[in-house]
Amino acid sequence: MASGNAIRGSRVGAGPMGEAERGESAPRLRISFWCANEHETQPSFASDAQVPDTWDCPRCGFPAGQDRDNPPDPPRTEPYKTHLAYVRERRSDADGEAILAEALAKLRGEI
């Protein structure tokens, strides 16, 4: 029994896909990039495209450059800061003591 589906048994995009149907592909350049872990990556770029200075390594995620002997340094990750660490950057110990004394005075009903 036919279900009325005209493309039964074929996949989307199936059929001859040669140069005649899609046209000629643009000229490409394969450029090598190396990361600090000595991984090589070779993305392809259109010949008239501007090639970036760095490319993210697909294996480790570090930035990769075109100079094999001098790859870019890995990014420096800052440790997670707590709320208290940010407060300590803005306030001195004397400021903290004054704020604490004021809060305790309010709790005791002195203010």
Binding-site sequence positions for Zn(2+): 35, 39, 57, 60
Known binding-site residue numbers: 35, 39, 57, 60
Q: Give all strands (DSSP E) within 47-86, no chain letters.
A: 54-56, 63-65
Phi first, then psi: what are they for 89, rounded to 5°? -70, -35
Q: From 50, 55, 49, 48, select the one nearest 32 (Cα to Cα).
A: 55
Category of 13 on φ-ψ map: left (φ > 0), alpha (ψ -120 to 50) or beta: left
